[in-house]
Amino acid sequence: MKKKLRIILCTMIIISFYITSCFALEVEVTVKINDNYVKSDQKHVLINDEVFVLGRFVVEALNGQVTWNENTKSMIIEYEGKKIKLTADSDVAYIDSKEYKLKSKPFLRGGRMYIPVRFVSENLNCDVSWIHETFTVSIKKENLVISDEKFEKRPYTDEEMRLLAKIIQVESGNTKIDGRLGVANVVLNRVKSDRFPNDIKSVIYQPGQFPPAHKQSFKTLKPNNLSNIAAKKALEGVNNVENCLFFNSRPFKSKKKDLYKIINGEYFYK
């Protein structure tokens, strides 16, 4: 009985560590307002289960006003008669001079202020929801009219992300995030190459390339969190294998000179 208990406890610890590791990763996040993708010059991020967005881009997309106080490192948001003050690295916010405690602190990166999206959006009278499968924040605001210059066309669809995550899942086995990210980028590199089809779906289903994609079970496969993260990061431009077009769990003797690196037991080739 004691032996069984020890096994159960060890299993629980391993699972807990695995889940924590997944969410400790920083993941690029998409933000959309009324189903339009918000334009920004840096990526919004998920850190430790909290989504941070680039304050100026999101607030101005909602037709709010933002001012910055360099001396205090504070952002002032004015919206529909309400004033919100957020300070970098402080867990105290002010709404119309009333103090509020934040779960997570805003921070500066690359000269930009990142703010906790749920706290700000809800206090700007918006509905906000989180779509974990695609790492997307959806903000809804009725009767909002926004200029097209605040938005951009995202270069991939949710369906393409799901399909990429599925092929990562079946091709990477139980590898860590770096190996999965490498697999994702091989697919995306092929899309860009003249040697392969020019879209994700066609690359994945190309005859003779990814056998698991042609199995019946592939249609209903649900990728795990790490595969979804790898797909999102790759689609948002994170590349750890440069322009590699091939990978394998064993060395390719014929491509020895083209070996780029070995990641989690997978061999990546240019």
Neighbours of 146 (CB within 10 A): 16
Q: Which two tokens stand for residue 154?
A: 């995202």
Q: What was the pLDDT predicted at 24? A: 58
SS3 249: coil
Q: What is the pTM of this model?
A: 0.85
- Alpha carbon distance 26, 233 (integer Å): 9
Q: Token pair 């903000």 is at which residue?
A: 139
Q: What was the pLDDT predicted at 107? A: 97
Q: Where are the alpha helices (DSSP H) in the chain?
A: 2-24, 55-61, 117-123, 158-172, 177-192, 200-204, 225-235
- Alpha carbon distance 230, 176 (integer Å): 10
> Is it the case that residue 7 has pLDDT exceeding 60?
no
Query: How high does pLDDT run on average in the chain?
Result: 90
If one compares 2 and 63, the residue with the highest pLDDT of the two is: 63
Among 9-13, 68-72, 81-85, 174-178, which is the least confidently predicted range?
Answer: 9-13
Nearest Cα neighbor of 170 from 224, 118, 104 is 224
The total number of residues written for the chain in this structure: 270
Q: Token pair 């790898």 is at which residue?
A: 230
The number of angstroms, rounded, from the C-alpha of 13 to the middle of its chain's C-alpha atoms is: 26
SS3 100: strand
Q: Token pair 């906000």 is at which residue?
A: 128
DSSP 25: S
Please state the φ and ψ torsions of residue 124, each to the nearest 5 degrees: -100, 20
> In order of start, what are the domains of the chain with their CATH numbers?
25-142 (3.30.457.10), 158-269 (1.10.10.2520)
Among 68-77, 142-151, 175-184, 237-246, which is the least confidently predicted range?
Answer: 142-151
> Is it the case that residue 18 has pLDDT exceeding 80?
no
Convert 205-228 to b/e letters by CB count within 10 Å (16 or more is b): eeeebbeebeeeebeebebebbbb
Instruction: Label residue 76 by pLDDT band (50, 70, 90).
Output: very high
For residue range 112-161, list pLDDT tens digits in order.
Answer: 999 999 999 999 999 999 999 999 999 999 999 888 999 999 999 999 99
DSSP 42: S
Rg (CA), the chain: 22
> Is it the case that residue 14 has pLDDT exceeding 60?
no
- Alpha carbon distance 227, 231 (integer Å): 6
Mean pLDDT of 100-115: 95
Residue 126 and residue 95 in contact, taking contact as beta carbons nearer than 8 Å: no
Q: What was the pLDDT predicted at 13? A: 34
Mean pLDDT of 12-29: 53
Mean pLDDT of 235-256: 93
Instruction: Label residue 49 by pLDDT band (50, 70, 90).
Output: confident
Among 114-118, 213-217, 249-253, which is the least confidently predicted range?
Answer: 249-253
